[in-house]
């Protein structure tokens, strides 16, 4: 996390460089970078997220009680998130998690 509480620039750049993550809806909070399969709030919580850790990163999720572990670089954190993406993930659905679930139920 930067001193001002925002997500580190190198993490944003690494995530943007990954085409599969670029298809998702990014959101941030407390210096963390999250990805959602929909654009509407409450967003989805089925994708790993990246937390700052001093000079490194923690990859956690999808719930707050789960962690995959520390990694040294933003690129490693992004690669770990991509490796664990759910099947048929992206592009982001325009709507809420409930609307996404209803849409997926009829596909």
- For the stretch 36-45, pLDDT in tens is 999 999 899 9
pTM for this predicted structure: 0.89
Q: Which among 89, 4, 2 has a CA at the least distance from the CA of 12?
A: 2
- For the stretch 70-79, pLDDT in tens is 999 999 999 9
Q: Under a CB-based contact definition with an 8 Å cutoff, are residues 79 and 68 in contact?
A: no
Please report the pLDDT score of residue 63 as a whole number: 86
**Domain segments of the chain as ranges:** 9-106
* Angle CA 34–70–72, to nearest 5: 95
CA distance 39 to 26: 9
Q: Under a CB-based contact definition with an 8 Å cutoff, are residues 45 and 63 in contact?
A: yes
Residues of the chain with pLDDT under 70: 1-5
CA distance 89 to 107: 14
């Amino acid at each position: 996390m930067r001193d001002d509480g925002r997500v580190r620039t190198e993490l944003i750049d690494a995530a943007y460089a990954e085409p599969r993550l670029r298809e998702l809806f990014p959101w941030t909070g407390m210096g963390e970078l999250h990805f959602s399969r929909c654009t509407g709030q409450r967003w989805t919580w089925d994708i790993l997220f990246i937390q700052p850790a001093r000079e490194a990163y923690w990859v956690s999720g999808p719930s707050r009680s789960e962690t995959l572990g520390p990694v040294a670089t933003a690129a490693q954190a992004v690669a770990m998130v991509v490796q664990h993406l759910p099947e048929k993930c992206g592009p982001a659905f325009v709507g809420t998690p409930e609307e996404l679930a209803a849409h997926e139920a009829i596909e």
